[in-house]
Amino acid sequence: MADNLSDTLKKLKITAVDKTEDSLEGCLDCLLQALAQNNTETSEKIQASGILQLFASLLTPQSSCKAKVANIIAEVAKNEFMRIPCVDAGLISPLVQLLNSKDQEVLLQTGRALGNICYDSHEGRSAVDQAGGAQIVIDHLRSLCSITDPANEKLLTVFCGMLMNYSNENDSLQAQLINMGVIPTLVKLLGIHCQNAALTEMCLVAFGNLAELESSKEQFASTNIAEELVKLFKKQIEHDKREMIFEVLAPLAENDAIKLQLVEAGLVECLLEIVQQKVDSDKEDDITELKTGSDLMVLLLLGDESMQKLFEGGKGSVFQRVLSWIPSNNHQLQLAGALAIANFARNDGNCIHMVDNGIVEKLMDLLDRHVEDGNVTVQHAALSALRNLAIPVINKAKMLSAGVTEAVLKFLKSEMPPVQFKLLGTLRMLIDAQAEAAEQLGKNVKLVERLVEWCEAKDHAGVMGESNRLLSALIRHSKSKDVIKTIVQSGGIKHLVTMATSEHVIMQNEALVALALIAALELGTAEKDLESAKLVQILHRLLADERSAPEIKYNSMVLICALMGSECLHKEVQDLAFLDVVSKLRSHENKSVAQQASLTEQRLTVES
């Protein structure tokens, strides 16, 4: 065979130049046979013989053997080491020209050749891009889209594969295909040829690639992709096929318009069915599918319209089914159920309805099952749901009397930052304008000590910020001397002073209001800590800084006046020449700031 191949290659060199048709055809058949028997070895010999350069002349529209030559190129380009040589031999431009042929076999082999050269090859893609190959292929897909005979479907599959290899993991080429309008064409293909497994699979892989690009989402939303995918999904029984559809659905469902389309196309019912079928199975594929299905369900609820449609005033069958996941023994379903509730709890009406219908007790039972060595993701999700439910004013007292604070405080010993973060947020929401609850929590030494510890969690900015905010909230909402004493004794004052320098105005403000209450109610207890935390210097800086928001300037001056009752802090105020800074603020454009500046100036003048 080896000698035979060498002879063929020598013969081909001569006949390729003479273009003696019969012997040329024979040589090409011989090569195809050799490639079929040992592709790699034959490809190496073809490269060594220098015959690739001659192929360009055999790819002209006039050549009678162009389909066979394209087939040989397609075969050799299955080898990675042959792709750049194919580009260097100048084969791309004549191959792209052949895409204008009317002959189906020529188109098929040319599509294969270009697709294989592009596979994982930057040089191949670049050459096809420069020769304008993608647009011609998309035009073919458009014009051949409606023909359903097997030969045409095979050609469509090759063309889809070629575009996929051309653009895979290359954002700029994917964007180019999107601008050329490939998405509506592929969606149409999927609808017409959904019986053809190979073509359907190609479309799905192409969708999966394109859907990752943000710019594709709007184009997808203007097609009936949701309907087609759901239709296809309902037909699939094999795990692998469903998995492929899931891989397209997940990135598409990040778009709110498509979320709604998927809900309207009946995807939710399919997902609920999967959950029901797989929930008791311990097969790996079923566990994966249960997770993917329930995760996708939660994702669909992130869209306001899709979420409200499924809530149906709390009467919706979907909402009811999701509720039944929470008491389940399956961790994945517990997690999805709690996350779904957190997503339903994104407006006051839904939150009020859910609290009135007993959701809080279900979530507290769930948390109870996860106190000791519990599942962190379930803890986090259940706390997220409780936090959202606690936002409407009317729910706070109901949730407090249901014992939510006690249930949440069981997780105070958690070492997991995501759980700590949600725990803090839930408590902060619950005590908002609830003086009694704020006082009760603020006198809880264990809680306050843990907050002070978390205020130093430098590695977890979220936990640090929430701890500071809860410390401040305990003072602001309780206005209680006992709470202030507990916070002073636990070393919390310095953190409130630091919080006044936060980059977030809302946090600065909360800190200044809490500090003003401390100064008004327990100045004697707190003055040493306020002094060592350099509060007066910080206030001077805030007032002198032109970038400080009006409410920050206003509350800083209120606080200055409150500090005058302490001898050591009063002396610091005098030493820092506050009068200069404050008198400038009398002409501030904000009326409240200007008025407070006048009052503060009087106070400073009297006390000096």
Q: Could you report the per-residue pLDDT of 96-131, keeping only the tens digit for each?
A: 999 999 999 999 999 999 999 999 999 999 999 999
SS3 content of the chain, % helix, strand, coil (to 5): 80, 0, 20
Mean pLDDT over 71-79 rounds to 96
Are 177 and 167 in contact by the 8 Å Cβ rule? The answer is: yes
Q: Could you report the per-residue pLDDT of 198-215, keeping only the tens digit for each?
A: 999 999 999 988 988 888
pLDDT band at 445 (very low <50, low <70, confident <90, very high): very high
Residue-level pLDDT at 5? 75
Are 430 and 390 in contact by the 8 Å Cβ rule? The answer is: yes
State how far the Cα of 68 lies from the Cα of 74, in Å rounded to an integer.
10
State how far the Cα of 601 lies from the Cα of 60, in Å rounded to an integer.
92
pLDDT band at 22 (very low <50, low <70, confident <90, very high): low
Q: Where are the domains of the chain?
A: 1-130, 131-254
pLDDT band at 19 (very low <50, low <70, confident <90, very high): low
Q: Could you report the per-residue pLDDT of 127-175, keeping only the tens digit for each?
A: 999 999 999 999 999 999 999 899 999 999 999 999 999 999 899 999 9
Residue-level pLDDT at 20? 57
Q: Could you report the per-residue pLDDT of 242-268, keeping only the tens digit for each?
A: 899 999 999 999 999 999 999 999 999
Percent residues over pLDDT 90 in the chain: 75
Structure token pair of residue 523 = 């100045």
Residue-level pLDDT at 8? 77
| DSSP 3-state of 540 | helix
Q: Which CATH architecture has domain 1-130?
A: Alpha Horseshoe (1.25)
Name the CATH superfamily for 131-254. Answer: Leucine-rich Repeat Variant (1.25.10.10)
Asked if residue 391 has pLDDT above 90, the reply is yes
**Among the listed residues 321, 531, 540, 514, the one whose alpha carbon sits nearest the alpha carbon of residue 428:** 514
Residue-level pLDDT at 3? 56
State how far the Cα of 32 lies from the Cα of 75, in Å rounded to an integer.
8
Which of 236-240, 274-278, 398-402 has the highest mean predicted lDDT (pLDDT)?
Answer: 398-402
**Average pLDDT of the residues of the chain:** 92
Q: Out of 126-140, 255-269, 483-497, 571-585, which region has the weakest mean confidence (pLDDT)?
A: 571-585
Residue-level pLDDT at 1? 43
Q: In CATH terms, are 1-130 and 131-254 the same topology?
A: yes
